[in-house]
Chain A
Amino acid sequence: MNSALPTSAQWAALMPILFPALAAAVIPLALLDRDAGVQKWIRAGVYAVALFALGASFMFLAELGKQSSQPSYQQLRLDYLAQFTGIFIVVAAALAVLQSWDHFHQEGWVKGETISLLLFSVSGMMVFASTTNLLVLFLGLELFSIPLYALTATLRSRSSSSEGGLKYFITGAVAAACFLMGIVILYGLTGTLDISVMRLQAGTPLADPLFIVGIGLLLVGFLFKVSAVPFHQWTPDVYVASPHPIAGFMSVATKGVAIVALIRAFPGLTAWGPVLGPKVQGVFMLVAVLTLVVANLTALVQTSAKRMLAYSSISHAGYLVLGLVAGTPGALTGMLFYLAIYLAMNMGAFGLFTAFGLVGEKDTYEDLRGLGWKHPLMGLCAALILFSLAGVPPLGGFYGKYMIFKELVATGHVNLAILGVLASLVSMGYYLRFIVALFLQAPTQAQEREATEAPVIQASLARGTVLVGAILVVAGGFMQTVLVDGFAHRAIQGLLGLR
């Protein structure tokens, strides 16, 4: 392994990862000054730095996308798939930062370290999505997970918050340990850490039972981050405990990068040979079925809208894993498209709580009553986002499901496709509850009284992000070709070409 300094092209490729990390390191320094008068300006400065770093990262990624070469530096591969994921993460993070400005002001708890942690997590996710080397993968996993554990417990004045953070940390540590154990086993058997090299060593080790155990442990780590059943129990508690923007960010970005890493590790069914391939597919099938059934039925009986969204995010993991079951290039492309729309939908859906000024424990359907009429623009956005989450055409969410189901049917998994559509029928049931609360129920008298007494909600930034989400959802429904051909398709082509 040579330790040569990166060339200028490689530096440019590394910039998207370095910028958020640098900003994350700088931000805590700015917070040393505790003078109340300048505090306000410092806060604004912190957010500006964060947005600047994310913006710069985005610019570099966009610049990379225009080049025909796909740079790599040592174990990091900044290929099209990594660029797609990078943009995905940066956009999610930027939306979360904007929402958190409003949310933390509503909660009265603005601390700079939150933003710093968020940016560290962004860097970690980019590392996680840009490598096939298992050790670097683990490094990325820890770099993005540990800040998220802390972020969950951000509002430390609330006991449920610390509880959620602790829960996340313990379960996350177990999953990480499994992941590491899997790496050790695989390395011991094959002598390589690179998963793309590992599967090319066709023959004896691939059929070894110990090898299968190693792959299984690796899958536990991935599926934990995807929050697929049966590794999902942490999700609802953690999302409910987290501040709304952080919950949105976790539901989108963590799931997204884990899915991308899965796509990298298991690109198609033939990649792992005739013995292991069907076994892995069987695992995916089982996980997808369990996830769709358990998550959708559980979401149906929730009384907290935020908890419902947490279960809904688990169920979306089920659809994404269905794409892995099909495993065709078309299905993988569909998964990336699904992720992009999912970003818009979930950042929008979690952003709604901030946009409506709901703080603390106010996240039940009861708290949402009549808000759709009180804020007509947000109401319309909410309706679009929720119908898209359920997969009602002509919105973006429909096409994500459409592409995955189409490949499932084409590969002969008609019964899985039927299960999938039945699951989305059930999901319509709980998304309708959200809509019923927003539009079809009048607020109670107590709520009316409270609303007149409460100060005007300041949430213009959060509302902006929800609007962006809704616009993306609609755009995904009418200009899907741009997204699919422009980004997702190319990313998958690049990946499969690399193989």
Chain B
Amino acid sequence: MNTLSLLVFGPALLGLLLLFLPEKFGKAGKSIAFLGAVAFFVIGLQKLWGLRADPSVLAPERFTWFAVAGLPVEYHLALDGLNYWLVLLTLFLVPLTMAATWNSLKQGEGRFNGLFLILSTGMLGALLAQDLLFFYLFWEAMLIPMYFMIGVWGGDDRRYAANKFFLFTLSGSLLWLVALLMVAGKAGSFNPTLMATAAAAMPFGTQCWLFLAFAVAFAIKVPLFPLHTWLPDAHTQAPTAGSAILAGVLLKLGGYGLLKFAIPIFPAAAQHYAKPMALLAVIAIIYGALVAMVQRDIKKLVAYSSVSHMGFVVLGIASFTVVGTQGAMLQMLNHGISTGALFLLVGMIYDRAHTRMIADFGGVAVKMPVFTAFFFIVTLSSIGLPLTNGFVGEFWILNGAFTSGFQWGRLYACLATFGVVLGAAYMLWMFKRVFWGAENPDPESGTHHLHDDLNLREIAVMLPLIGLIFWMGLRPGTFVAASEASVTALLKEVQAPAPNMITLAPAAAAPAHGTEAPTPEAGHVEEHR
């Protein structure tokens, strides 16, 4: 069987088997699911790692699947620069999340992990699919396992959160389907290249409407302000594994979809709407941070920090510069690692204390030093401290927005910078209240219930994440090398405005420096490698 097909459909087949496993074999089912996920990760790593310089050399798997109603739909899976690292991230996070939440569930463990595997099929399929209807199938199918993961194993308000999640996401994608059919009907295919040609022939007004339909579907998933309201509910109510994978991978698909489909198919309309997109992104950054600051529930705080961080991704994409877009690519990976890790850590403390309220804690550092150390590193990464991954992504995005060819670039970059400061404020304030200080005197408090520090399993889960945080902070080039060519080609294709660089007038006194004045674009990106 071909590698990509195996990676995409293998998990679902295994997952379906696990759904039928009787309840009493739940433990065994959990182990099988975990071993399966590890196996898929190992296979993926072994087959794909060598391709990191140029993922597109892997032969795509492509044939016509069916052609009902006169429109051929292709079974087309391929790696490219944009999806390469997201695929690896997905393969990596699934087994890791399973291990991290090994003892979190009280019942139905086998089935939960079966659904988890089916979900990973949806995510990988959506990332790898190159045909738009094929992509759409995975995009929608992903909702079903996630719905049950939230609805069955979630918190007290799980039914509301699950329904909201499902209907919100579905509303965007249904309207998107109509737009998809319109363009595909003209193009006679769901191939993005042909669709772009067909879209270019349409009147500009129509293009704008169609782009909006595409963008709204993706923006709901990102989620972009003001379409984000499902996210805090879903994140808070979902079980730890669900939150971690939701933050880790599902949200990325929104940004990925914008970059992969919406912008190449409607380049003119996308640039027309770059300003509103960037404005909403800036609002999301600031608003998400402000709302996160006043949260009492740690998990909800992390959920709103997601809104803020994903705002950076959209800002980077809307900047239409190579450095900004590359920053967005890296920020998606960063957010997957850091926020995923935060959710896992919150889950670990919740399993012990059965509360997530900030006020219930205090002085946790004394009781759980190892946990505190891990939490601190991840917090710093989330804030974007230099040397951690968060810094590089945010810096590139702000850099991209600042140098973007659009008028608004500098103002918005400056505004977004406040988001970084606010990010530090809410994270550190939360950290102070939960971990530092004297132990919470209340005998009913969460701190009182913390008896043991992280065990070996939990440490083993956190170590690779911490390793990645520093690796990505110190050598970010490894993680964006694959997408460099794709992003450059994409921006050239859409005729993005040239970056608006600040070129200092060469000082007469120092002619030697004048020769080193950076040439726009390419040279600029190299600077950060």
Cα of A441 to Cα of B68 in the assembled complex, Å: 39
Report yes or no: A414 in contact with B68, Cβ–Cβ below 8 A.
no
Question: Chain B: which residue is nearest A401 at the CB level?
Answer: B177
With A393-B140, A432-B166 known to touch, is A424 a contact of B174 (CB < 8 Å)? yes
- Report the minimum CB–CB distance from B121 to chain A (whole Å): 11
Q: Residues of B at under 8 Å CB distance from A?
A: 19-20, 66-71, 136-137, 140-141, 143-144, 148, 151-152, 158-159, 162-163, 166-167, 170-171, 174-175, 177-178, 181-182, 184-185
Report yes or no: B178 in contact with A439, Cβ–Cβ below 8 A.
no
Q: Does A399 touch B at the CB level, under 8 Å?
A: yes
With A402-B69, A425-B174 known to touch, is A409 a contact of B182 (CB < 8 Å)? yes
With a cutoff of 8 Å between Cβ atoms, the chain A residues found around residue B175 in the complex are 418, 421-422
Taking a contact as CB atoms closer than 8 A, the residue among A376, A428, A481 that contacts B166 in the complex is: A428
With A421-B175, A421-B178 known to touch, is A406 a contact of B69 (CB < 8 Å)? yes
Taking a contact as CB atoms closer than 8 A, the residue among A398, A403, A440 that contacts B159 in the complex is: A440
Report yes or no: B69 in contact with A392, Cβ–Cβ below 8 A.
no
Cα of A386 to Cα of B182 in the assembled complex, Å: 27
Report yes or no: A376 in contact with B152, Cβ–Cβ below 8 A.
no
Question: Chain A: which residue is nearest B136 at the CB level?
Answer: A393
Cα of A387 to Cα of B66 in the assembled complex, Å: 22
Identify 13 new A-B residue pairs, CB closer than 8 A, beyond the known A394-B137, A402-B177, A440-B159.
A330-B70, A380-B19, A380-B20, A383-B144, A392-B141, A392-B143, A402-B69, A406-B69, A414-B178, A421-B177, A428-B167, A440-B151, A440-B152
- Report the minimum CB–CB distance from B182 to chain A (whole Å): 5
Cα of A424 to Cα of B184 in the assembled complex, Å: 21
Report yes or no: B68 in contact with A484, Cβ–Cβ below 8 A.
yes
Taking a contact as CB atoms closer than 8 A, the residue among B69, B140, B177, B184 that contacts A403 in the complex is: B69
With a cutoff of 8 Å between Cβ atoms, the chain A residues found around residue B66 in the complex are 480-481
Report yes or no: A439 in contact with B144, Cβ–Cβ below 8 A.
no
Cα of A337 to Cα of B152 in the assembled complex, Å: 34
With a cutoff of 8 Å between Cβ atoms, the chain A residues found around residue B170 in the complex are 392, 425, 428
Taking a contact as CB atoms closer than 8 A, the residue among A333, A425, A440 that contacts B162 in the complex is: A440
Contacts between chains A and B (CB distance < 8 A), count:
92
Report yes or no: B69 in contact with A436, Cβ–Cβ below 8 A.
no
- Report the minimum CB–CB distance from B159 to chain A (whole Å): 5
B interface SS class: helix
Q: Does A407 touch B at the CB level, under 8 Å?
A: yes
Report yes or no: B178 in contact with A405, Cβ–Cβ below 8 A.
yes
With a cutoff of 8 Å between Cβ atoms, the chain B residues found around residue A428 in the complex are 166-167, 170
With a cutoff of 8 Å between Cβ atoms, the chain B residues found around residue A398 in the complex are 140
Cα of A414 to Cα of B181 in the assembled complex, Å: 10
Report yes or no: B181 in contact with A409, Cβ–Cβ below 8 A.
yes
- Report the minimum CB–CB distance from A27 to chain B (whole Å): 39
Cα of A425 to Cα of B167 in the assembled complex, Å: 7
With A425-B174, A439-B152 known to touch, is A403 a contact of B68 (CB < 8 Å)? yes
A-B contact pairs, 30 of them (CB 8 A): A333-B69, A334-B68, A334-B69, A376-B19, A377-B20, A380-B20, A387-B144, A392-B140, A392-B143, A393-B137, A394-B140, A399-B68, A402-B68, A403-B69, A406-B181, A407-B69, A409-B181, A409-B182, A410-B185, A418-B175, A421-B178, A422-B174, A424-B174, A425-B174, A428-B167, A432-B167, A439-B148, A439-B151, A440-B158, A484-B68
With a cutoff of 8 Å between Cβ atoms, the chain A residues found around residue B70 in the complex are 330
With a cutoff of 8 Å between Cβ atoms, the chain A residues found around residue B166 in the complex are 428, 432
Q: Does A417 touch B at the CB level, under 8 Å?
A: yes
Report yes or no: B182 in contact with A330, Cβ–Cβ below 8 A.
no
- Report the minimum CB–CB distance from A482 to chain B (whole Å): 9
With a cutoff of 8 Å between Cβ atoms, the chain B residues found around residue A383 in the complex are 144
Taking a contact as CB atoms closer than 8 A, the residue among B68, B136, B152, B178 that contacts A409 in the complex is: B178
Report yes or no: B171 in contact with A425, Cβ–Cβ below 8 A.
yes
- Report the minimum CB–CB distance from A385 to chain B (whole Å): 13
With a cutoff of 8 Å between Cβ atoms, the chain B residues found around residue A481 in the complex are 66-68
0 or 1 for each of A406-450: is its CB under 8 Å from B? (1 = yes): 110110001001100110110011001000100111000000000
Question: Chain A: which residue is nearest B67 at the CB level?
Answer: A481
With a cutoff of 8 Å between Cβ atoms, the chain B residues found around residue A417 in the complex are 178, 181
Question: Chain B: which residue is nearest A409 at the CB level?
Answer: B181
- Report the minimum CB–CB distance from A420 to chain B (whole Å): 8
Question: Chain A: which residue is nearest B163 at the CB level?
Answer: A432
Question: Chain A: which residue is nearest B66 at the CB level?
Answer: A481
Cα of A376 to Cα of B25 in the assembled complex, Å: 14
Cα of A439 to Cα of B163 in the assembled complex, Å: 13
Question: Chain A: which residue is nearest B185 at the CB level?
Answer: A410
Report yes or no: B140 in contact with A376, Cβ–Cβ below 8 A.
no
Cα of A480 to Cα of B137 in the assembled complex, Å: 14
Cα of A424 to Cα of B171 in the assembled complex, Å: 9
Cα of A425 to Cα of B185 in the assembled complex, Å: 23
Report yes or no: A409 in contact with B185, Cβ–Cβ below 8 A.
yes
Report yes or no: B182 in contact with A414, Cβ–Cβ below 8 A.
yes
Cα of A387 to Cα of B118 in the assembled complex, Å: 16
- Report the minimum CB–CB distance from A490 to chain B (whole Å): 14
- Report the minimum CB–CB distance from B253 to chain A (whole Å): 15
With a cutoff of 8 Å between Cβ atoms, the chain B residues found around residue A436 in the complex are 151, 159, 163
0 or 1 for each of A333-347: is its CB under 8 Å from B? (1 = yes): 110010000000000
A402, A441, A480 — most chain B CB neighbours (10 Å): A402
Cα of A237 to Cα of B46 in the assembled complex, Å: 61
With a cutoff of 8 Å between Cβ atoms, the chain A residues found around residue B159 in the complex are 436, 440-441
Report yes or no: B141 in contact with A393, Cβ–Cβ below 8 A.
yes
With a cutoff of 8 Å between Cβ atoms, the chain B residues found around residue A439 in the complex are 148, 151-152
0 or 1 for each of A152-191: is its CB under 8 Å from B? (1 = yes): 0000000000000000000000000000000000000000
- Report the minimum CB–CB distance from B288 to chain A (whole Å): 27
With a cutoff of 8 Å between Cβ atoms, the chain B residues found around residue A334 in the complex are 68-69
Question: Chain B: which residue is nearest A429 at the CB level?
Answer: B167
Question: Chain A: which residue is nearest B69 at the CB level?
Answer: A403
Cα of A393 to Cα of B142 in the assembled complex, Å: 10
B144, B148, B184 — most chain A CB neighbours (10 Å): B144
Report yes or no: B144 in contact with A392, Cβ–Cβ below 8 A.
yes
- Report the minimum CB–CB distance from B202 to chain A (whole Å): 13
Cα of A410 to Cα of B178 in the assembled complex, Å: 11
- Report the minimum CB–CB distance from A468 to chain B (whole Å): 18
With a cutoff of 8 Å between Cβ atoms, the chain A residues found around residue B184 in the complex are 406
The 9 closest A-B pairs by CB, nearest first: A421-B174, A481-B66, A393-B137, A403-B69, A409-B181, A440-B151, A394-B137, A410-B185, A393-B140
Taking a contact as CB atoms closer than 8 A, the residue among B71, B141, B162 that contacts A406 in the complex is: B71
- Report the minimum CB–CB distance from A489 to chain B (whole Å): 9
- Report the minimum CB–CB distance from A397 to chain B (whole Å): 12
Cα of A337 to Cα of B66 in the assembled complex, Å: 14
With a cutoff of 8 Å between Cβ atoms, the chain A residues found around residue B151 in the complex are 436, 439-440
Cα of A383 to Cα of B144 in the assembled complex, Å: 9
Report yes or no: B167 in contact with A394, Cβ–Cβ below 8 A.
no
With a cutoff of 8 Å between Cβ atoms, the chain A residues found around residue B69 in the complex are 330, 333-334, 402-403, 406-407, 484
- Report the minimum CB–CB distance from B526 to chain A (whole Å): 43
- Report the minimum CB–CB distance from A381 to chain B (whole Å): 12
Question: Chain B: which residue is nearest A394 at the CB level?
Answer: B137
With a cutoff of 8 Å between Cβ atoms, the chain B residues found around residue A333 in the complex are 69
Cα of A409 to Cα of B182 in the assembled complex, Å: 6
With a cutoff of 8 Å between Cβ atoms, the chain B residues found around residue A480 in the complex are 66, 68
Cα of A282 to Cα of B446 in the assembled complex, Å: 66
Cα of A406 to Cα of B66 in the assembled complex, Å: 15
